[in-house]
Amino acid sequence: MISADLNGKCVLVTGGLSGIGLAAVKTFAACGARVAVNHLPNDPATKQVLDELNQDGYLIVSAPGDVSDPDQTETMVEQAIETLGRLDILINNAGTSNTREPIAFDDLDAMSEAFWAKIMQTNLIGAFRCARAASPALRSAKGAIVSTASVAGLGVPGSSIAYGASKAGLINLTRSLAHALAPDVRVNAVAPGLVRTPWTDPWPDERKAQTIANCLL
């Protein structure tokens, strides 16, 4: 477990109910931060996960909202900041592959307009919406933004062409926001390889092995 003194710091983690997002929530909270956990408004796992986090003594608040929806995103960020009282760190983790299993790159017919729209609205534009809404509070706090990209955005085959493109866009967005918000806000991204989560569990073993082989570490 990462150890740091984050007492007094306030964090918003989007997509925080499972996988990498939930791990981030637990880590920040264990280090003393107050954490707003963003989740889909009707996610059935919400109550159980938040109850377990609060039972562990963590300082957790709920921040419902779908980042693919512009109105919900702005309201979610504003309410999270109001509840926390400030915002020091934004973790742009909410994302979707929009598929349970990888889609072959040569299956272009599977890349429908609706498929592209869902992925880009969540993975790329949603991250921008959150950053834009949070930027005044982050500037005041001299805070930071960290976005969850992917090795799929660096050329390693991901779950689909659209997913890889969205993560490549997120990496570029990170660079642009770093310039736009400097020197008040630090903006970075991490690009994980294959991580065992409910997303990747259904993947064929062959595809998992291929993805791991294409990663540097």
The answer to whether the CB of 88 falls within 8 A of the CB of 144 is yes
**Torsional sign, CA 63, 133, 188, 203:** positive
pLDDT, one tens digit per residue, over 161-193 is 999 999 999 999 999 999 999 999 999 999 987
User: Number of C-alpha atoms within 13 angstroms, CB side, residue 26?
Assistant: 15
Look-up of token digits 């994980």: 192
Structure-token pair, residue 109: 């017919």
One-letter amino acid at 96 equals: T
Structure-token pair, residue 152: 């799929």
| Residue 47 CA: distances (Å) to CA of 95, 132, 149 | 21, 28, 27
The answer to whether the CB of 94 falls within 8 A of the CB of 126 is yes
Domains of the chain, each with CATH number or no CATH: 10-213 (3.40.50.720)
Residue 181 CA, distance from chain mean position: 19
* Residue in 136, 123, 126, 113 with CA at minimum distance from that of residue 70: 126
The answer to whether the CB of 151 falls within 8 A of the CB of 191 is yes
pLDDT, one tens digit per residue, over 68-114 is 999 999 999 999 999 999 999 999 999 999 998 889 999 999 999 99
User: Number of C-alpha atoms within 13 angstroms, CB side, residue 133?
Assistant: 24
pLDDT, one tens digit per residue, over 23-56 is 999 999 999 999 999 999 999 999 999 999 999 8
Active site residue ranges:
163
The answer to whether the CB of 130 falls within 8 A of the CB of 73 is yes
pTM of the predicted model, to two decimals? 0.90
